[in-house]
Amino acid sequence: EDQVTQSPEALRLQEGESSSLNCSYTVSGLRGLFWYRQDPGKGPEFLFTLYSAGEEKEKERLKATLTKKESFLHITAPKPEDSATYLCAVQSFSGGYNKLIFGAGTRLAVHP
């Protein structure tokens, strides 16, 4: 069964304190791994798609990386506006082209 586990569940950082969020996955065949950001009371906002081990993508202070078992979302010198829940999701070949399996998310709070 396809599974996604995110850690930590919650993370508190000081402004400027870099850190990484982890997404471990178990799928029979990875089609794609997706990172989203969700603000309270809003829908998820798309950040990145990663397809193969070794791939990296960057956007402003965020960088996503992928290995065969996990993905990391690195946050460099975060600002308070980076506070949100970060969701990881996988799409597998066996699970059907449609389905995204989501992790529970990491709630990030960045304090000034």
Binding residues for other proteins, rule: CB under 8 A, are 32, 34, 36, 41-46, 49, 87, 91, 98-100, 102-105
Distance CA 94, CA 73 (A): 25
Residue holding tokens 């990875």? 30
Indicate the residue among 7 and 76 with the shorter CB distance to other proteins: 7
- Tell me how crowded residue 78 is: count the other CB atoms within 10 A of its CB: 22
Tell the smallest beta-carbon distance from residue 107 to other proteins (Å). Answer: 8
For residue 97, the minimal CB distance to other proteins (Å) is 9
- The two tokens of residue 20 are 């990484």
